[in-house]
Structure 1
Amino acid sequence: MAKKPQLVADTRPWRDPAAKPFVRIRNVTKKFGDIAAVADVSLNIYKGELFCLLGGSGSGKSTLLRMLAGFETPTSGTIEIDGQDMSKVAPYNRPVNMMFQSYALFPHMSVAQNIAYGLKRDGLPRAEIEARVAELLQLVKLTGYENRKPNQLSGGQRQRVALARALAKRPKLLLLDEPLGALDKKLREETQFELVKIQETLGVTFIVVTHDQEEAMSLATRIGVMNQGEIAMVGEPTEIYEFPNSRFVANFIGSANMVEGVVTEDEPDHVRIQSKELGTDIYVSHGVDCSPEQILWWAIRPEKINLSREKPAPQAGVPSETNMVKGYVEDIAYLGDMTVYQVKLDNGRYIRVTKTNALRGDPEAISWDETVWASWAGTSGSVLVS
């Protein structure tokens, strides 16, 4: 008799209504004059998370991080860390450390001296400091570099020294402001995985501020997308990407084709959207909380669209002549791992389609100026009401 598979407990505390947040931000506003850099933000972050605050310039993410560190005081609202109200706690007394984008290493000190700086200021015994420095050097894979100066290190190595120094005093919460921003693309991608491994090894709660969507998606247990001082959406990376809650989030995270439409059928198991922009009806094979004749938006990721030279056969359960549109390939961008097609539809609108390059030098690949059909499944897009 086959054994029943064992159920693995869900270790994601944000899915447990009874879980106690490690960081609790309640109705926090920060104004500079009449301008609200952060506007009535409420957010729970749990112990052991690697949480990313993601947003563009001026979205309020760095201001929120600085309030957590104690470098800025909220105009209103409260911040709690590990059950303690931080409103009257000075930055140097908070169970927090911060790693800056510039790394801010002391140029005249060696790697070991930089890491040991905070421990020496606290008056720890020399043997204890040396043991802690050796432990951190091993953690960040810099054993043997302890006597080098920062100018003798690569950008990635300096980043790891700054991380080790920030972790030296065993903070309960580590704040990282654009930690990988100074690295080139390839090194940044490699370092993302190292950072995740270090965080998982230590179990320290990380809050990372970044404007880089790919970085946030690679690092985070959850992402808080910020826009104009507010939290636009909080969710796991797959939720943020696959199920955006607004046009802003759909456009900000990755790439999306978005069209306006009008609801012509509204049933519990499907809706039908008439879209003049797309030049076809869109059949969505699930219900949506909307009203008949309501104007809304439909967004679909480029990789969710199929391209074919021949008109596709109707899909099972989807009315004919819906979820397909004709056009021609006006431009192609070959990116190595995938190809991006710019397709001009018969009504003049453009859509973007991506295809993974699974075959090397595919002789059957669609090329420039070919007439094509773009089609998609009833579950491929997202219906957005705001």
Structure 2
Amino acid sequence: MKKPQTAADTRPWRDPGAKPFVRIRNVTKKFGDVFAVDDVSLDIFKGELFCLLGGSGSGKSTLLRMLAGFEDPTSGSIEIDGQDMASVPPYRRPVNMMFQSYALFPHMSVEANIAYGLKRDHLPKAEIADRVAELLRLVKLEPYGKRKPHQLSGGQRQRVALARALAKRPKLLLLDEPLGALDKKLREETQFELVKIQETLGVTFIVVTHDQEEAMSLATRIGVMREGAIAMIGEPTDVYEFPNSRFVAGFIGSVNMFEGVVVEDEPDHVRIRSTEAGCDIYVNHGVDCAPDQVLWFAIRPEKISLSRERPEGDANIAKGMVEDIAYLGDMSVYQVMLDSGKRIRVTKANALRGDPDAISWDEEVYAHWGGNAGSVLTS
């Protein structure tokens, strides 16, 4: 969802000399004998919308709470804007946090909720009024200032919580599952709004989520977490198209995985013999691996084509039978049982209305793909 940008300074993580805004160094957090966060090092740059993505118990929320100052690291250091946070209490950090529950005051109006932190800081009344009006405009809730939270929809309450979190103009905003309470359609609409608000203000956002689509839609970069550690950091396209492990490939989106053994290893290509695929897999680039090494080929469902006739070639062609088809409107998902006994998923965009030539149930098909369609994984 982030706009493609080409200027070097809009992607500072690509510049080895760029100075990080948030610097996390070898941070570990133990609860008793359990490592909630295990030796995490991470640089986040000013103006980023960075997503920490992981399942339950992966350590993402604990890392967020340490940034906010609600938890202290067992070891390691956290710097924000060049300042070590070790002895800085939560209320003195240039940080605000928006919780999944939104935690709005039910007896206060929308305006009073947004103004709460500013009043506690004893800002002049006129300045508070101006800032509240500015934030209501930003989150498109100008007509709702006098309402109470129970008179708002879930999406409107989410935007009030965001406005309140931004009211004190933090340098860093931490969002814990910010869209988790919204239904699917509203969540998708709110993702666009969140990105626009972040780009308008230029505040650095760190978002914790377990939702892969949400992370892919929102983030400048994603940090995939597993068992307290960072499994991979990258831009959404890199994490999806070039995963560094079977875990990341399987965690982000849907993927077909074939185990195989290298039978040809040249600088410009690799050939993998795969019993699971029932064919050789040809990859048109070299791979750093040992002779006869067992590895895995990961390919996304949309990168595979289905045909009734066998295409030409001696690799990347697997024969099978269509077991099931799920029609999802914009696309159809085919479940194909290969002759090898392996099930795969193939997706096809429904570009035509009522396509009479579409492949149907119980048809014999050939699944085929190009030499650069998938990723070779060694772990």
Q: TM-score range by the shorter chain?
A: over 0.9
> 1:348, CA displacement in angstroms?
1.4
Distance 1:345 1:179 in 2: 41
Q: 1:236 aligned to 2:229?
A: no
Q: State which of 322, 328, 350 in structure 1 corresponds to 2:321.
A: 328
TM-score using structure 1 length: 0.96
Q: State which of 355, 365, 376 in structure 1 corresponds to 2:348.
A: 355
**1:317 aligns to what?**
none
Where 1:37 maps in the other structure, the secondary structure is strand
Distance 1:361 1:217 in 2: 31
Q: 1:191 aligned to 2:190?
A: yes
Q: 1:383 aligned to 2:358?
A: no
**1:318 aligns to what?**
none
**1:74 aligns to what?**
73
Where 2:195 maps in the other structure, the secondary structure is helix
Identity %: 82
Q: 1:101-140 maps to which residues of 2 (within 5 A)? A: 101-140=100-139
Q: 1:172-191 maps to which residues of 2 (within 5 A)? A: 172-191=171-190
Match for 2:328: what amino acid? L
Distance 2:259 2:319 in 1: 18
Distance 2:354 2:360 in 1: 12
> 1:152, CA displacement in angstroms?
0.1
> 1:8, CA displacement in angstroms?
4.7
**1:100 aligns to what?**
99
Q: Residues 172-214 of structure 1: CA distance to partner in whole angstroms, max 9, x if unpaired?
A: 0000000000000000000000000000000000000000000
Match for 1:85: what amino acid? D
**1:300 aligns to what?**
299
Q: Residues 282-307 of structure 1: CA distance to partner in whole angstroms, max 9, x if unpaired?
A: 01000011111011111000000010
Distance 1:141 1:8 in 2: 30
Q: 1:226 aligned to 2:219?
A: no
**1:33 aligns to what?**
32
**1:311 aligns to what?**
310
Distance 2:62 2:163 in 1: 24
Q: Residues 298-350 of structure 1: CA distance to partner in whole angstroms, max 9, x if unpaired?
A: 10000000100101123xxxxxx211011110101001111000001112111
How many residues are treated as equivalent by the alignment? 374
Contact kept? 2:299, 2:375, Cα under 8 Å? yes
Distance 1:234 1:155 in 2: 32
Where 1:144 maps in the other structure, the secondary structure is helix
> 1:377, CA displacement in angstroms?
0.3
Where 1:186 maps in the other structure, the secondary structure is helix
Task: Return 5+ residue gaps in structure 1 as ranges.
Answer: 1-6, 315-320
Q: 1:207 aligned to 2:206?
A: yes
Distance 1:291 1:42 in 2: 30
Match for 2:60: what amino acid? K
Distance 1:9 1:70 in 2: 32
> 1:357, CA displacement in angstroms?
0.5
Distance 1:364 1:356 in 2: 14
Q: 1:268-279 maps to which residues of 2 (within 5 A)? A: 268-279=267-278
**2:3 aligns to what?**
none
Match for 1:377: what amino acid? G
Where 1:217 maps in the other structure, the secondary structure is helix
Distance 1:11 1:216 in 2: 19
> 1:10, CA displacement in angstroms?
5.2
> 1:11, CA displacement in angstroms?
1.7
Q: 1:282 aligned to 2:281?
A: yes
TM-score using structure 2 length: 0.98
Distance 1:309 1:186 in 2: 37
Where 2:10 maps in the other structure, the secondary structure is coil
Match for 2:33: what amino acid? D
Output the aligned Cα RMSD.
0.7
Runs of 4+ in 1 over 6 A off after TM superposition: none
Match for 1:144: what amino acid? P
Distance 1:341 1:304 in 2: 13
Distance 1:298 1:347 in 2: 16
> 1:35, CA displacement in angstroms?
0.2
Task: Return 5+ residue gaps in structure 2 as ranges.
Answer: 1-5
Where 1:333 maps in the other structure, the secondary structure is strand
Distance 1:353 1:101 in 2: 35
Distance 2:91 2:354 in 1: 58
> 1:277, CA displacement in angstroms?
1.1
